[in-house]
């Protein structure tokens, strides 16, 4: 996720403070190399498919980002999700998985935008495209965001059809989600700006209002080649599924647009008739700046798996006036918990300051219940090696104490957001708001690392297992062989623990520049208010 081309010092439903983009920041040599590398990757991403983009523009079509730029309100940000989906896969022939998804504001209403990129393999879908599309719909459903689909896609990428077609969370789930969201009163609007073929034809057909661009947009279940093969009928794409036919004869589309600009104008006009959701009554106060420049947060970036920095200093860079009211400061001190405001939004913050012990897990469970009892959204700042292991800790009941925190989070009803600021290993990932526990947004910093355990620990564990196996067979393993195995294991874990490996597979909602964390959290907290919250059913029991 990044604010690359559209963050425009926004004041929209919330007062935005300290909201510069990476490119606008006055960077010096103090910029961490992980952040510099991340932003370089994003810049290179926009340069891919240059020839395809030129052909696209010669046809009189706007590029996907240009369409989004015109669609959203001026002076508002667009928060792109999973910009590096499919990164490092398919020989990098599917940049961003061929689809752009993100949160923007249209006529004052926060909206999920899902836009095919026809310059990437004709906007066709691979596994990561499906996953990205479905995740965008999930976020829309959880936060009552209207959906706009900018359709320009050839449907399923046929060589990958077995990976995207038949299963529960494959292509068909898109249409299921549209039907469910429409029934829940979440608007579904489509603009057909190019091909809309086969199963993809159901996206506009299942939308409440559909716009199609004449002599450019087409909708059909089977294209001219398939029709010729099946029936022997010769027909052009425009005759078979063009805009004029669908708006005057089939009724599949409702509005005929002259070009991309006109189509976007019609869509914005439709939004004038959509009701603004009633906001959840979360605690709010006047928004105030942190007192820091956004890039000052770089000084507090931890190194995954290395000596822990005091996370309290990092928290100050996210909160209004750098204030943080800590809860249980002297108990379970490896987990920092407390209350703060982020752009006027009152929140509870849980942040790792070391490994989780029984006391810190009990404290976490207690605090999660308090936040639910008081209807406070939560922010998890995750830099966790896991729960403490060892004979004494197992006797003390670390498993049951960790389970209390996991249980409290699993039954939490307030929205929460997770930022992976460092390492994310083992069961600590779960307790600190990992993907499996349904955070509204889960974002990674470019220095983060995620795996079942740290690379070095994994190498040591597997080496011990290898030694024990050899002993059981009455053989020995040489030091050289053991060291080679350790190095191979460590290298494999480091590759798969990389934030780029994770975000490519959509284990998060995107990598972000740490300097943009406060802005993105502010917008996340704003969209979470679009849906009424069901307060938690459990009372507070002291841990």
The predicted pLDDT at position 9 comes to 36
3-state secondary structure 12-61: CCCECCCCCCCCCCCCCCCCCHHHHHHHHHHHHHCCCCHHHHHHHHHCCC
CA distance 196 to 213: 12
The predicted pLDDT at position 22 comes to 30
CA distance 419 to 155: 33
3-state secondary structure of 118: coil
The predicted pLDDT at position 26 comes to 43
Alpha-carbon dihedral sign for residues 310, 379, 35, 105: negative
CA distance 171 to 151: 15
Q: Which residues contact 471 (CB under 8 A, 6 or more apart)?
A: none
CA distance 384 to 334: 10
The predicted pLDDT at position 306 comes to 58
Give the domain ranges of the chain. 33-271, 294-448+511-528, 451-497
CB 64 within 8 A of CB 122: no
The predicted pLDDT at position 308 comes to 77
**Residue 507: other Cβ atoms inside 10 A:** 18
The predicted pLDDT at position 533 comes to 80
The conformation of residue 229, written as its DSSP 8-state character, comes to H
The predicted pLDDT at position 543 comes to 61
The predicted pLDDT at position 304 comes to 59
Q: Which residues contact 200 (CB under 8 A, 6 or more apart)?
A: 151, 153, 154, 155
The predicted pLDDT at position 305 comes to 54
What are the backbone angles phi and psi of residue 400, rounded to the nearest 5°? -70, -30
Burial of 76 (0-12, 13-18, 19+ CB in 10 A): buried
The predicted pLDDT at position 281 comes to 85
Sequence-separated contacts (24+) of 137-142 with Cβ below 8 Å: 137/112, 137/174, 137/177, 137/178, 137/181, 138/177, 139/81, 139/103, 139/112, 139/440, 139/441, 139/509, 140/112, 140/181, 140/186, 141/177, 141/180, 141/181, 141/184, 141/186, 142/415, 142/440, 142/531
Pick the CATH number of 33-271 from 3.90.226.10, 1.10.274.30, 3.30.70.20, 3.40.50.700: 3.90.226.10
Residue 102's DSSP bridge partners are 80, 113
CB 440 within 8 A of CB 417: yes
The predicted pLDDT at position 479 comes to 82
Beta strands in 362-412 (DSSP E): 378-384
Do 33-271 and 294-448+511-528 show the same overall fold? yes
- Tell me if the domain spanning 294-448+511-528 has CATH number 1.10.260.40: no
Q: Which residues contact 146 (CB under 8 A, 6 or more apart)?
A: 106, 109, 110, 111, 112, 140, 186, 187, 188, 189, 271, 274
Query: How far is CA 414 from its chain centroid?
Result: 18
Q: Compute mean pLDDT per 10 residues along the chain, 543 residues long, and list them.
A: 40 37 44 94 91 93 97 95 97 96 97 97 96 98 98 92 91 96 97 91 95 96 87 92 96 97 98 91 93 96 76 98 98 97 98 95 96 96 90 89 94 96 92 97 96 79 80 83 82 87 97 97 96 74 64
0.85 surpassed by pTM = yes
């Amino acid at each position: 996720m990044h604010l690359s081309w559209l963050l425009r010092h926004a004041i929209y439903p919330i007062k935005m403070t300290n909201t510069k983009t990476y490119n606008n920041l006055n960077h010096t040599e103090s910029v961490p190399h992980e952040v510099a590398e991340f932003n370089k990757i994003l810049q290179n991403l926009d340069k891919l498919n240059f020839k395809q983009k030129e052909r696209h523009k010669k046809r009189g079509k706007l590029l996907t980002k240009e369409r989004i730029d015109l669609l959203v309100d001026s002076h508002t940000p667009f928060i792109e999700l999973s910009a590096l989906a499919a990164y490092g896969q398919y020989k990098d022939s599917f940049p961003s998985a061929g689809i752009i998804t993100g949160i923007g504001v249209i006529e004052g209403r926060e909206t999920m935008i899902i836009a095919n990129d026809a310059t990437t393999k004709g906007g066709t879908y691979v596994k990561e495209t499906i996953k990205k599309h479905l995740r965008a719909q999930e976020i829309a459903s959880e936060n009552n965001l209207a959906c706009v689909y900018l359709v320009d896609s050839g449907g399923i990428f046929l060589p990958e059809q077995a990976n995207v077609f038949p299963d529960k969370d494959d292509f068909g789930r898109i249409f299921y989600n549209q039907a469910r969201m429409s029934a829940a009163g979440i608007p579904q609007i489509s603009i057909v700006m190019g091909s809309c073929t086969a199963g993809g034809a159901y996206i506009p057909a299942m939308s409440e209002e559909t716009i199609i661009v004449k002599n450019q947009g087409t909708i059909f279940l089977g294209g001219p080649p398939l029709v010729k093969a099946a029936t022997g009928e010769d027909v052009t794409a425009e005759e078979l599924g063009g805009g004029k036919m669908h708006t005057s004869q089939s009724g599949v589309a409702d509005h005929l647009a002259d070009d991309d600009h006109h189509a976007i104008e019609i869509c914005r006009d439709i939004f004038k008739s959509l009701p603004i959701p009633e906001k959840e009554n979360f605690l709010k106060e006047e928004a105030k700046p942190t007192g820091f420049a956004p890039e000052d947060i770089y000084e507090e970036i931890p190194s995954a798996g290395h000596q822990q920095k005091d996370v309290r200093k990092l928290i100050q860079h996210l909160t209004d006036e750098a204030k943080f009211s800590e809860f249980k400061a002297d108990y379970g001190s490896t987990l920092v918990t407390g209350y703060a405001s982020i752009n006027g939004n009152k929140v509870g913050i849980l942040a790792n300051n070391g490994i989780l012990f029984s006391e810190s897990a009990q404290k976490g469970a207690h605090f999660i219940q308090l936040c639910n009892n008081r209807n406070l959204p939560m922010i998890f700042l995750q830099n966790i090696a896991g729960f403490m292991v060892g004979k004494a800790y197992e006797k003390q009941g670390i498993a049951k104490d960790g389970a209390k925190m996991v249980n409290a989070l699993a039954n939490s009803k307030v929205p929460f957001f997770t930022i992976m600021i460092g390492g994310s290993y083992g069961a600590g990932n779960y307790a600190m708001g990992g993907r499996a526990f349904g955070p509204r947004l889960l974002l990674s910093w470019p220095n983060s690392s995620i795996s079942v355990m740290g690379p070095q620990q994994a190498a040591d564990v597997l080496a011990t297992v290898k030694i024990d196996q050899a002993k059981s067979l009455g053989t020995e393993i040489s030091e050289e062989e053991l060291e080679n195995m350790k190095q191979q294991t460590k290298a494999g874990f480091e590759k798969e623990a990389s934030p780029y490996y994770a975000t490519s597979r959509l284990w998060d909602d995107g990598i972000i520049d740490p300097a943009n964390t406060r802005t993105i959290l502010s917008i996340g907290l704003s969209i979470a208010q679009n849906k009424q919250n069901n307060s938690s059913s459990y009372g507070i029991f002291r841990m």
